[in-house]
Chain A
């Protein structure tokens, strides 16, 4: 395993047992994040992006959820085998998380200061005064004006963008090695989103924190991420660096996504080329490739077998039968 590797997820499978059947939310997820790197995870709703993040943090509610198999190696430790005590030390300290909706992830009856201080006091063993000092400093760093006063405000006294800044301050207060950001700007307006992306970029440069950025916006991926993982119906279908993904995408699903994108810099009359059909029902996945029924490159084998995760070119992984022969097996 290479020295720089911070997180490696191998063949992760997470199921949810419901009355209507077993939902295979993550069905063979593979990914890698190196120290200080930003990985964008893209995919449509229900593709398993958030479930993957929650499985890494072991925050899947069990039951109904169950992590069936796989490996989550973080900093040399398999988180799927870690005890609850070990996880408590890691969550919020080594791995922090921010969510799409900053209102529901902040406690409405505590001031934002207390919420930021809680993590600092717990993980850094700091006293109240010291923690408060650090909290003010963090709020300043994320660009909250009059941080000394605002620290005693409650979440409802902040706007959406400001709340997301508070969440970022809280997440970064313990200098995590990995920050998992689940659609951090989806609920925000474009100009506010630009502020938050700008802030995340600055913080990334200063702190060297690795980021796993879950988003459905390919624009955000292009601007912020070095590596990209594309997910579809619980599978990881393509993983490569951001430039390759946009210049020579390999998986037919990625082609479809890029063809569905209205472009801002094209002036000629254009017609979108969407993927036909809809994603499969996760309770009733096909025998073969999950994308086969919508794929315009479909071969007979695609409906019979699941494709394997292959490294087609150095650092470019694809799970598709189009590339069966050329690739060498990824171990």
Chain B
């Protein structure tokens, strides 16, 4: 948790964001048979200087949100507002300029680095695109960034396959930093890494945040990592946010039955602790045909009739704590 430069000023706002993917069937003639509702009405804000954690199980739509914010995917509905500008209304050219302020770090560092480019060129590319045409100037900046992420200038002459997973992720971070962005969307940046390397990277991300006053949207499925790095945490389930609160509040005082179950499901690395685990029955339903009413009702231990009929509102219950449940 980082205390410096954290404000309540909104940097990015997401309003009723929806992203549906059409589902088609048929081999010769493709028939539209429905929508996969990856993100279905999500609203939240990210404050300048903070880390907002976004957690949820696979298929809950957390990565899609990250992509829609950067307009790597176009939203089906809703708005993304960055520093007062509605991103969805910008032209391609305007959006390209905006992207220098919002960058992304991906989970799979190997797939996200071009294997045929030298690392130095990978990091220099965004600098070139944003109009720094002087080669020497670019090289100077690349060397500096490599140093910042804990690599050496001579690493710039190598290719991605010559690095370990942790080092490649450092290259991904370097590329994201190249343009001094304000917001970095980290999509599972440490999930593929071993514990000791993961800890190095988490510390690096924290240091960079302090030094460059970065704002992070930290998407992950590991609740311990998210708690460690985030100021506020949003829990997603099947395309919607179930609960959002500041990190300590969420982990100490979870309200939504899904959050409670999710937290109780984490194995604690302490053999002397015996936990009462809430085991959720069944699997996550398909987002193509999500349950009526509250999406969690098929697995919720506290389900009532109203849950099957009405979708609960996402409301503020005080103390900057938002929950979508009928019984809170």
Residues in chain B near residue A220, CB distance under 8 A: 267
The answer to the question of A192 belonging to the interface, with a C-beta cut-off of 8 Å to chain B, is yes
The answer to the question of B310 belonging to the interface, with a C-beta cut-off of 8 Å to chain A, is no
User: A189, B224: Cβ atoms under 8 Å?
Assistant: no
Residues in chain A near residue B221, CB distance under 8 A: 189-190
**Chain B positions 261 through 280: 1 when the CB is less than 8 Å from some CB of chain A, otherwise 0:** 11111111111110001011
CB distance from A21 to the nearest CB of B (A): 16
Task: Give chain A's interface residues, CB within 8 Å of chain B.
Answer: 44-45, 159, 161-162, 189-195, 197-198, 216-224, 242-243, 246-247, 256-265, 267, 269-276, 278
Residues in chain A near residue B199, CB distance under 8 A: 259-262, 272-275
User: B1, A269: Cβ atoms under 8 Å?
Assistant: yes
By beta carbon, the residue of chain B nearest A267 is: B248
Size class of the B contact interface (CB-based, 8 Å): 35 or more
* A186, B26: Cα distance in complex, Å: 34
With A190-B265, A243-B271, A264-B268 in contact, do A44 and B195 touch (Cβ < 8 Å)? yes
Q: Which of A191, A223, A258, A274 contacts B200 (CB 8 A)?
A: A274
* A218, B248: Cα distance in complex, Å: 23
User: A195, B280: Cβ atoms under 8 Å?
Assistant: yes
**Chain B positions 238 through 251: 1 when the CB is less than 8 Å from some CB of chain A, otherwise 0:** 00000000001001
User: A256, B270: Cβ atoms under 8 Å?
Assistant: no
User: B262, A191: Cβ atoms under 8 Å?
Assistant: yes
User: A189, B284: Cβ atoms under 8 Å?
Assistant: yes
**Chain B positions 197 through 235: 1 when the CB is less than 8 Å from some CB of chain A, otherwise 0:** 111101100100000000000000101110111000000
Q: Which of B198, B206, B265, B268 contacts A222 (CB 8 A)?
A: B268
User: B283, A197: Cβ atoms under 8 Å?
Assistant: no
By beta carbon, the residue of chain B nearest A197 is: B267
The answer to the question of B133 belonging to the interface, with a C-beta cut-off of 8 Å to chain A, is no
Q: List 14 A-B contacts (CB under 8 A).
A: A44-B196, A190-B223, A195-B280, A197-B267, A219-B267, A219-B269, A223-B271, A224-B267, A246-B271, A260-B198, A261-B195, A269-B3, A274-B200, A275-B196
By beta carbon, the residue of chain B nearest A224 is: B267
Q: Which of B3, B200, B225, B283 contacts A262 (CB 8 A)?
A: B225
The answer to the question of B137 belonging to the interface, with a C-beta cut-off of 8 Å to chain A, is no
* A111, B302: Cα distance in complex, Å: 36
The answer to the question of B164 belonging to the interface, with a C-beta cut-off of 8 Å to chain A, is yes
By beta carbon, the residue of chain B nearest A269 is: B1
Given contact pairs A191-B262, A262-B227, a sample of 9 additional A-B residue pairs in the complex whose CB atoms are under 8 Å apart: A44-B196, A191-B265, A193-B267, A195-B279, A219-B266, A243-B272, A262-B202, A264-B266, A275-B196
Q: Which of B196, B200, B229, B279 contacts A194 (CB 8 A)?
A: B279
The answer to the question of B94 belonging to the interface, with a C-beta cut-off of 8 Å to chain A, is no
Residues in chain B near residue A272, CB distance under 8 A: 199, 202-203, 228
